[in-house]
Structure 1
Amino acid sequence: MLRPTRRLVGIDAARGLALIGLMAIHLLPAWNEESGEASWSWRLFSGDSAALFALLAGVGLALTSGGRHPHEGRTMTADRIGLVVRAVLIAIVGLWIGTLMSEDPPAYNILIYYGVFFLLAIPFLHAGPKFLFISAAIFGVVAPLLMQGLQDVLPEFVSYNPTFTDLLTQPGATASQLLLTGSYPALPYMTYLLVGLGLGRLDLRKTEVQARLVVVGVGLAIFARAASYVLLYAFGGYQQLLDASSMGEHELDDVLVWGPDALPTDTAWWLAIATPHTNTPLAIAASLGVGLAVLGVFLLIGPKIGKWLLPLSAMGVMTLTLYTAHLVALSFEIHYELPYLWFMVHLAVATLFAVAWHRGLGQGPLEKVVSTSVKGTRRLVLGGPRKNGHR
């Protein structure tokens, strides 16, 4: 039997869905070979799964540091130092995975970026919702400007999956990649994390709050994509991109679907696109809207059909373990010929393992290691046994 818990099942289920989305992006084709158009998995999950992960990471940080009533004094100090430990451990796992991946890897690893997200979150850990939402908006606008404006002066790209060697031999280039130029750059992604942190300071058990998440999320996603469309096709942005980039229409259309390798610096009109993973203000807003809506829906249905969500919620409580195992399996690169079969294999193994382990032992193995390390650090700071906050 499952242990009694105060966790919000909807949060765990949403995290489980985000994991499935990343698996789909890593394993399934990004385009239809016959039509050349984006596949259903790309349209459903590209960019949005990673954004949902970051959003939920922020929610989790809030709930473990006091929820609606942020910890104060030594307890908050303990939370902050514990977060440093969590960040370092997750980054170490990410750097180790980087050593397993080839130069042209089957997936881009988010874990080392996660470590940076958590380090950047430390100064915001005590803040209330209003300050956090305003800060998120600032990151969502300023970070893309920095990303584009500094691109030509920042060090060259290190590797798709940085390793310990990269960090030690090219610390500056690795840092710039983790903050601004990488696959999941921390400064733009702070928008998602800070919004999540702000949400965790609200009463997420209230139906009114849950319904508002859905409404605001859907509205924000529609607004962002509509604004991008109007800017590009009603206000001349598309032509400006053609003129500045010297691309043909077919090439530009492809870039607007798949995104450029790096955000071009030839015109500020590139900031008007909402293509996944481009981390422009409108792309961030669109993915944030999807994440808010997904979280709101799961929070609404969680109390009513929580038992039916067990496969998702069980995966959601051990995403570090499952994501790490997924990337290790991908590093063998045996999945390319039969992507749909291997997706089903990864999904089935993850689901069965998660349900069995969660029913029998609770936390996932890597989650247990991180949690035990963080709790031990907090006890040292507090000077005695202390219980962490729980959902």
Structure 2
Amino acid sequence: MTHLGTRPTTTPPPVVAPHRRFVALDVARALAVTGMMAAHLVPLPPGVLSRVVSGFPSTLFAVLAGASAVLATRRHAGRPVAASVSLVARGAAVAAVGALLGLAPSGVMVVLVYLGVALALGAVLVHLRTSVLAALAVLLTATGPFLTSAVRDARHVQSLGELSWESPADWVTSVLFTGAYPVITWTVYVTTGIVLARTMVAAHRRDAEAGTRAASRTWALRCALGGLVVTAAVAVVDATYRTLVAVPALAEQTGLDQQTVEQVLASPAFGASSGASWDSVLLATAHSGHVADVLLTASAAVAVTGALTLALRHDGAHRALRPLAWLGAVPLTVYVLHVLSTWLWTSTATPTVGGGSAVLAGSVAAAALLGWVLHRAGRRGPLEAAVSAASSLATRGLLRGDPAARGRA
């Protein structure tokens, strides 16, 4: 009851819920997984469509993993050790799943070991200031291709290699530098995702405090337009250098026709072996880790996240994209099932464009159905639940003496 002459009490402004799901991230994860499915199932000639599905989806997946690292550790706010242990456990669990999945001869370059190690490194990254993270991303983008090239030359690896299990030192070297998805490069994507999630959460918090949606709209618009501008600029630089310099030089050197040269330049193997040259800076060859490749894919991931956030502000788009959101809520489970099903399909059939398209459509529909069933049941994907359980188990001892922390875990 309010007494005369006293000011009425006010309700504290709402804040962003610690376990709130950001649907745009789920839809983006679905696009990433679907893109990787397309790259594995549908043979495509070199071109724009091939570039979209062969290079961008896996890097979008890595950016979103960095964003997930921020969201997963919000429950450990104020407890940096618990947050770090949680991320190391998550990374180790993802890497273990990837190591087991790699035993299946599917022909797919499994990303999970590299992603798991990058997530474990996130245990340090999430505690750095945003300005430091941005500087680190720029540094690794500029130096990454030359570091990986130097290590490959020293170890006589002239292409994107497989993980080496011969010794611990060989394994670490292949994961960090010579493997198909070197962590030295993927750390840029994870760092980008951390910065993206931090700024997104901050914008939503400002909206919650002010009772508006202006801050999140401005954030999404800046991401969409800024990412698009950088993506377009890098694409123009890549196309100009490729047409005026790289193609004529390689054609003259090898005597190959232009179409064959284009295919060579589009090969990740060429990107991995191009060494310390302008090719390592200006050619955006998919999976090459070149400066242009990293800038193109990272900025595209930011643009897609911003654009989806803007689109999902409208009820019609929200309803239309709901199946993708269901799929994107269980990305690890869907990815593993996809790799296993690809192994079974390729062992019994010869992939073709038509056949692969049909399998792709069926795979996406089945994945969306799985996501819907789990959503209706209020359950996580089995592998998502396992990774979360590993994180909770690893931090249980740290939280044992703190009832409030246990309540958030």
TM-score calculated relative to the size of structure 1: 0.86
Point out the structure with the larger helix share: 2
How far apart are the structure 2 equivalents of 1:25 and 1:134? 32
How far apart are the structure 2 equivalents of 1:264 and 1:159? 8
Offset at 1:261? 4.7
**What letter matches 1:54 in structure 2?**
A
How far apart are the structure 1 equivalents of 2:147 and 2:231? 23
Rate the CA distance shift 1:161–1:358 in 2: closer, same or farther, 3 A.
farther
Residue 321 of structure 1: which of 317, 321, 333 is its match?
333
Gap regions ≥5 residues in structure 1: 32-36
Which residue matches 2:378? Answer: 361
Rg (Cα) greater in structure: 2
Residue 187 of structure 2: which of 186, 190, 194 is its match?
190
Paired residues of 2:102 and 2:110 also in contact (CA < 8 A): yes
Which residue matches 1:294? Answer: 304
How far apart are the structure 1 equivalents of 2:392 and 2:23? 23
Offset at 1:156? 4.4
How far apart are the structure 1 equivalents of 2:361 and 2:334? 14
Residue 292 of structure 2: which of 261, 282, 290 is its match?
282
Paired residues of 1:155 and 1:172 also in contact (CA < 8 A): no
Alignment partner of 1:46 is 2:54: yes
Paired residues of 1:241 and 1:270 also in contact (CA < 8 A): no
**What letter matches 2:302 in structure 1?**
L
Paired residues of 2:160 and 2:180 also in contact (CA < 8 A): no
Paired residues of 1:311 and 1:355 also in contact (CA < 8 A): yes
Deviations 1:52-82 (A, max 9, x none): 1111111111222339xx933xx11111111
Paired residues of 2:231 and 2:299 also in contact (CA < 8 A): yes
Paired residues of 1:12 and 1:317 also in contact (CA < 8 A): yes
Matches within 5 A, 1:230-269: 230-233=240-243, 236-241=245-250, 246=254, 248-250=256-258, 251-261=260-270, 263-265=272-274, 268-269=277-278
Which residue matches 1:9? Answer: 23
How far apart are the structure 1 equivalents of 2:308 and 2:239? 29
Which residue matches 2:15? Answer: none
Which residue matches 1:113? Answer: 114
How far apart are the structure 2 equivalents of 1:239 and 1:22? 32
Alignment partner of 1:81 is 2:85: yes
Alignment partner of 1:222 is 2:219: no
Matches within 5 A, 1:86-97: 86-97=90-101
**What letter matches 2:335 in structure 1?**
Y
**What letter matches 1:229 in structure 2?**
A
**What letter matches 2:343 in structure 1?**
S
Deviations 1:137-167 (A, max 9, x none): 11111111112233211264899664xxx53
Paired residues of 1:217 and 1:291 also in contact (CA < 8 A): yes
**What letter matches 1:255 in structure 2?**
V
Offset at 1:22? 0.5
Gap regions ≥5 residues in structure 2: 1-17, 205-215
TM-score calculated relative to the size of structure 2: 0.82
**What letter matches 2:58 in structure 1?**
A
How far apart are the structure 2 equivalents of 1:159 and 1:127? 31
Offset at 1:204? 4.8
Rate the CA distance shift 1:214–1:177 in 2: closer, same or farther, 3 A.
same
How far apart are the structure 2 equivalents of 1:284 and 1:266? 16
**What letter matches 2:42 in structure 1?**
L
Paired residues of 2:161 and 2:174 also in contact (CA < 8 A): no
**What letter matches 1:201 in structure 2?**
R
Offset at 1:182? 1.8
Offset at 1:361? 2.9
Deviations 1:164-220 (A, max 9, x none): xx53x3333332222122221111111111011011111353111110000111111
Deviations 1:8-51 (A, max 9, x none): 111111111111001010101122xxxxx5483x2332211011
Percentage identity across aligned positions?
24
Residue 323 of structure 2: which of 284, 291, 311 is its match?
311
Which residue matches 1:99? Answer: 103
Residue 199 of structure 1: which of 189, 196, 200 is its match?
196
Rate the CA distance shift 1:238–1:155 in 2: closer, same or farther, 3 A.
closer
How many residue pairs match? The answer is 368
Larger displacement relative to structure 2 (200-209 or 6-15) = 200-209
The DSSP-based 3-state class of the residue aligned with 1:100 is coil
**What letter matches 1:374 in structure 2?**
S
**What letter matches 2:261 in structure 1?**
L
How far apart are the structure 2 equivalents of 1:157 and 1:360? 49
- Higher relative contact order at CA 8 Å, sep ≥6: structure 1 or structure 2? 1
**What letter matches 1:343 in structure 2?**
L
**What letter matches 1:106 in structure 2?**
G
Which residue matches 2:3? Answer: none
Rate the CA distance shift 1:322–1:84 in 2: closer, same or farther, 3 A.
same
Paired residues of 2:225 and 2:303 also in contact (CA < 8 A): yes
RMSD of aligned alpha carbons: 2.6
